[in-house]
Amino acid sequence: MGLTEKELAELKEAKKLLESPGMAVRLSNALGAPIEKGFGFLPEKVAGTVKIATRVALEKAVAAAVLTMNTKKQQKASNIFHKVAAAASGAAGGAFGLPALAVELPVSTVIMFRSILDIAREQGETIQDPGTLVASLEVFALGGSSGDDDASETGYYAVRAALSRSVSEAAEYLARKNVLDKGAPALVRLISTIAARFGIVVSEKAAASAIPIVGAAGGATVNTIFINHFQNMAKGHFTVRRLERIHGKETVRRSYDKL
């Protein structure tokens, strides 16, 4: 059986979220200045800082997820609570400028990952399932495109396909070991792959924070847009996964492509 009208409407909304303009456009619109301008204020060493910070942030997010594995049954996600927490983190980081990125990013990433898990649970995912944990990590790879990417590399299903092997290996490892070891090769490969795309969005966030008019208040605004972006990606991603559990991946993919 195909998707119902209600399910097609849900899939259409999910696609709208997943294929919407990226972080750079949203930040530029909110700050009234193109992100390219912010890149001009970034010190050369920031690129290396972002690369290290994104990996550390994802590792800390995964470690923090262990504390939430035995969560409550399906309930409405607390998006506003997590946005407020992320804004507070951004305000604190914005007050100290770019040097605070290495400290602030892991905090905001843990908050976002907890929000992503919350949205997964709302969409009927079982948090104890290793597949849900790695699917939640996948969200950080969504919506982050670079000038070198083309449409075939940045589409939602294209990103999932690129990550599929690493995701499968990591989920299989977690299911077999029933313990989280961030040094496990399967998780290292997954985090490395995701960090490459997540780092693009983090660089855009850093560039926005580097614009002279952005201080503590601006840092809160940047982080609110930052978490809102990934909450949207999570909502779309886990809506698609919920429909796939009902109708199968191929049926949902065909409907997604037709929209």
Average pLDDT of the segment spanning 175-203: 82
Q: Is the pLDDT higher at 75 or at 137?
A: 137
Average pLDDT of the segment spanning 1-6: 90
Cα pseudo-dihedral 220, 226, 232, 233, rounded to 10: -160
Q: Is the pLDDT higher at 255 or at 93?
A: 255
Check residue 152 and give its pLDDT.
Answer: 43
* pLDDT band at residue 151 using 50, 70 and 90 as cut-offs: very low
Residue 110 pLDDT > 80:
yes
Mean pLDDT of the residues in the chain: 82
Q: Where are the domains of the chain?
A: 22-235
* Euclidean distance between CA atoms 153 and 160, whole angstroms: 10
Average pLDDT of the segment spanning 131-156: 72
Phi, psi of 96 (to 5 degrees): -110, 0
Check residue 22 and give its pLDDT.
Answer: 83
> With the C-alpha atoms ordered 123, 111, 188, 101, is the resulting torsion angle positive or negative?
positive
Write the CB contacts of 73 (distance below 8 Å, at least 6 apart in sequence). 121
- Percent of the chain clearing pLDDT 90 (strictly above): 34
